[in-house]
Structure 1
Amino acid sequence: MFSLLRKIFTWWHNSTIGTWVFTSLNGEKVGEDDQGNVYYHEKKGKKRWVIYNGEIEASRIPPEWHAWLHYTVDETPVEQPPVVKSWEKEHQPNLTGTVDAYYPSGSLNAAGSRAKTTGDYEAWTPNS
């Protein structure tokens, strides 16, 4: 019961009932990425959208699918597979706002104190 209520009234856990109904009536699946996110476009229109597999986090969309969603390219990565560069790294989730977020030393949320200035800073003073 809780799962059904969560699906009806929240959007941040998964797609809502409205999205599911719109997708089933108007959507046509065009592909899926390696994380299980499913991409759709409208049968009789230009809308494009994604149904996330799990947590809804925009940084989980690979660059090639992002380009397709934002009309930068017309071909999906299924039609035109991306060329993997040797310098590319694996995806890392955006942890901002979570317990695991990065806080530099000297931050109010991190233990420690800010490093002292090293003498390369000279305060501006107006000509008197």
Structure 2
Amino acid sequence: MFSLLKRIFTWWHDSTIGTWVFTGLNGEKVGEDDQGNVYYREKKGKKRWVMFNGEIEASRVPPEWHAWLHYTIDETPVERPPVVKSWEKEHQPNLTGTVEAYYPTGSLNAAGDRPKTTGDYKAWTPNS
């Protein structure tokens, strides 16, 4: 019962029932990414959207699908696969706020030991 209420009234945990109904009536599936997110376009209109597989987090949309969703390109990555350069890395979602987040040396969340200053810094004091 709780999960049904959560699905009806919240959009940040999963797609709402209204989104599922709209997608079922008006959506045409155009593709899916490697994370299982499914992309749709409106049958009779110009709307484009994504139904997330799991957590709804915009940074989980790969760049090629982001370009299609925002009308930067007209063809989907399924219709016209992007050219992958040898130097490109795999897409990663934003890890800020997770245990996998990057913390630089000296951060309280990293080792906590701040490197010593090199002596090239002189603190400012008024009237000096």
Q: Which position in structure 1 is the counterpart of 2:36?
A: 36
Q: Which position in structure 1 is the counterpart of 2:72?
A: 72
Q: Which moved more, 1:47-56 or 1:10-19?
A: 10-19
Q: Which moved more, 1:93-102 or 1:10-19?
A: 93-102
Secondary structure of the 2:21 match is: helix
For residue 121 of structure 1, report the CA deviation from its aligned partner: 4.0
Q: Which position in structure 2 is the counterpart of 1:92?
A: 92
Q: Which position in structure 2 is the counterpart of 1:101?
A: 101
- Given the two structures, how large is their TM-score scaled by the length of structure 2? 0.82
Per-residue CA shift, 1:53-88, capped at 9, x if unaligned? Answer: 111122221111110001110111111111122112
For residue 125 of structure 1, report the CA deviation from its aligned partner: 8.2
Q: How many residues align?
A: 128
One-letter amino acid of the counterpart of residue 114, structure 1: R
Q: Which position in structure 2 is the counterpart of 1:24?
A: 24
**Any stretches of 5+ residues in structure 1 without a counterpart?**
none
CA distance in 2, matches of 1:75, 1:122: 57
For residue 40 of structure 1, report the CA deviation from its aligned partner: 0.9
Q: Which position in structure 1 is the counterpart of 2:81?
A: 81
CA distance in 2, matches of 1:46, 1:120: 59
Q: Which moved more, 1:89-98 or 1:13-22?
A: 89-98
Per-residue CA shift, 1:23-50, capped at 9, x if unaligned? Answer: 1122211111121111111122211110
CA distance in 1, matches of 2:113, 2:72: 45
Q: Which moved more, 1:29-38 or 1:102-111?
A: 102-111
**Any stretches of 5+ residues in structure 2 without a counterpart?**
none
Secondary structure of the 1:75 match is: coil
- Given the two structures, how large is their TM-score scaled by the length of structure 1? 0.82
